[in-house]
Structure 1
Amino acid sequence: MDNQRAETENKIIEAAMKVFTKKGYKGATMRDIAAEAEINLAMLNYYFRSKDNLFDIIFERAFKQIYGKLFEVLANNSSIFDKIRGLVNEIIEILLNNPELASLIFAEVSINPERLSDKFKGNSEVEKIFNRFQKQIDKEVKLGIMKPISFMELYMNIDALCVFPFLAKPMFTGIFNLSEMNYGGLMERRKSTIADFIIAGLQA
């Protein structure tokens, strides 16, 4: 019984992910989600009380899947430059393998930025990771290994170079006549290109 319930819940969540990604939170309805999951509306309401409840679960799952991996890279004991390569690799890998998760987060954050910022505010573990990374940067600067920069600016640089090509994918594929496969291959190659570019700009 528990297995059947879990399977049904996952089926609903996957269906809701598709509907929310396609129509956005405001445009999606519980009826749309029920139709996508191929269940009746009463069953959907039995498993998930409301659209808000279902969206919160999906957003939490997307957040953990995307940012959990990035926090792991930031928290490990590797060098700054290795962490930069790790962040670039993880961000692009996540966007290649889970485009619907990224689309969902970006679409929602553009309308409701507090939904994401609330995940960081007052989170002591995240603050520790960020502060530790900034101290590591400051140490490398004092040693003459890299130029001064804040963690915020460094992360903005990484995110901009990694994320924008996915947000602007329809434009780039149209301009350069790229297939889905060609674009995926291009972004795989850009893992090293982006990391090299950022590191070269930071080296003292």
Structure 2
Amino acid sequence: YDAVFLGMGLQGVNALAAKDEDADGVVDAVDYIADIRQARDLSRLPVGRRVLVIGGGMTAIDVAVQSKLLGAEDVTILYRRGQEQMKASLFEQDLAQTRGVKIKHWVMPKKVLIKKGKAVGLRCEYTVEKKGRLEGTGETFDLPADMIFKAIGQTFVDAAGGALELSGGRIKVDAERRTSVQGIWAGGDCAAGGKDLTVAAVDDGRRAAESINAFLKA
């Protein structure tokens, strides 16, 4: 191809840094939301009775609300800092709570509790911010759960094997969304310097399209 535009988003999911986070019943929120979007019969999707969601962004809100709508009895979002520091807007937080979702602030996961190879709960630790740094207080508590969602941010997976120059862990682009390799453009979440918003991704596509058009006509 004479021109290629990369807009594959962020495919990786950040780790919880909690013991036994790979246990059965611990699910990547992004993958689950994708399953919801593609499902023809939502009743066939597995959902826990007691659901915990770890994160504070739009993905956390989305998967929490969807879990509640799918029939979960108890859904709680756990966020390591305060309400004002959540990436999800106050409107979205309020919307989730009106749907029956609970939000606990200043807590972080420490260990997934397992029984017979399956997650049955989560051990959490209260957190506090000191001089701008987040620290655990040492005080822990356990929450029962049969489904735990990881929604603590996504990372770029470099499928190009280092062929493209990166910046801050994402593809480096210029103002026209050109990458370090001639003939390849990138935009959206996978590109460095973006705002992780749909409207920003659309703008990236427009800028890249104009640049590609000029490149092909040159």
TM normalised by structure 1 equals: 0.27
Which structure is higher in RCO with an 8 Å CA cutoff and minimum separation 6? 2
Q: Which has the higher helix share?
A: 1
